[in-house]
Amino acid sequence: MNVYEKNWNGLWTLEWNEVQGKFHVETADTRFAKSTQDFLDGKVSEWYMLGVFNSYKEASEYTTNLVDYKSRLVNVE
């Protein structure tokens, strides 16, 4: 284990990529290891972190709710 890694105990992250127009869910361990390595390598990310969840299912349900909420905001304007 590298000095910057931490055990995130099965947590999941939700991200959004505006360029690709896609959501992505993956384990927090994987996401934070990649993000830390990108930082150390000086890379810029196109991904926006939207949340950390206890399960893949919880992250997926949040995605559905977020898309619904955004659609209602757009329709109000």
| C-alpha span between 72 and 11 (Å, rounded) | 29
| C-alpha span between 13 and 25 (Å, rounded) | 6
Domain-by-domain residue ranges, the chain? 12-76
Quote the pLDDT of residue 75. Answer: 73
Helix (H/G/I), strand (E/B), else coil: 54:
coil
- 17-58 pLDDT, tens per residue? 989 999 999 999 999 888 889 999 999 988 999 999 999 999
The whole-model pTM stands at: 0.77
| C-alpha span between 5 and 28 (Å, rounded) | 11
- For residues 48-71, give the mean pLDDT: 92
Question: What single letter denotes the amino acid at residue 61?
Answer: E
